[in-house]
Amino acid sequence: MNKIIISQTIRQKLPDLVLGCIACNVTISTENPDLWAEIETACKLIQSTTELEKVGSHPAIHASRVAYRSCGKDPARYRLSSEALMRRAVKGNPLYRINNVVDLLNLVSLETGMSIGGYDAEKIEGDVCFDIGMKNEPYEAIGRGEINIEFLPVFRDSVSSFGSPTSDSVRTSVTGETTKFLMVIIGFSGNRQTLETAELALRLLEKYADADQIEVIYV
């Protein structure tokens, strides 16, 4: 696993922040009926039990929104991916089907409300630092093109920023050729839920992506 650190800049603003990092080998597939049955069940449960205006009050999402404000970013303008997923479920809109690894990551985020990044580990260069985006820092988000990451919590390697709780980047995206996967659970709400989310993620990675050579660290 690449060395992963939290910058002093963001640590001062978010003293309770914890990163749960899982590195493993995976097998990519595009068809997995059992996984999608789990996703559809989770979406139906969320739709039947959650009001749209209450999504932002979910404990993990609320903690993430508070963290955005602490970093200087408006969570209403740069919505968290976990919040966007939950809002889609509440509205009854189907989730996008990408591949088993991305889809199971979305399932974990749906069930926990946690912000989670997923990356092709072989596309990451050198050490990784969780930091705050800088002015005019380039960032091409998956499905969104260039976005303004100034004041946004971001992961950065020796090349550029490549991940954020709003959207991961094209550069390190998980594709059909991915064999080494890095998942980072961004614990804005602290240690306990990060540990519980990691346990769920590990179970799903082993069940649906044949994960092996698994390494887990907490930062």
Per-residue pLDDT of the chain (219 residues; tens, 9 = 90+): 999 999 999 999 999 999 999 999 999 999 899 999 999 999 999 999 999 999 999 999 999 999 999 999 999 888 999 999 999 999 999 888 999 999 999 999 999 999 999 999 999 999 999 999 999 999 999 988 899 999 999 999 999 999 999 999 999 999 999 999 999 999 998 788 999 999 999 999 999 999 999 999 999
Residue with tokens 């990163």: 19
CA distances from 187 to 89, 90, 98, 171, 210 (A): 22, 23, 25, 24, 25
- Is the entire prediction scored with pTM above 0.75? yes
Report whether 155 contacts 167 (CB < 8 A): no
Nearest residue to 137 (alpha-carbon basis) of 115, 104, 163 = 163
**Residue 12, pLDDT score:** 95
Q: Phi and psi at residue 11, in whole multiples of 5°?
A: -65, -35
Split into its structural domains, the chain has a count of: 1
**Residue 31, pLDDT score:** 86
User: Domain range spanning residue 120?
Assistant: 4-218
The residues, ordered by sequence, that sit 6+ positions from 135 with a Cβ below 8 Å of its Cβ are 150
The CATH number covering residue 143 comes to 3.50.40.10
| Burial of 43 per CB tally in 10 Å (0-12, 13-18, 19+) | buried
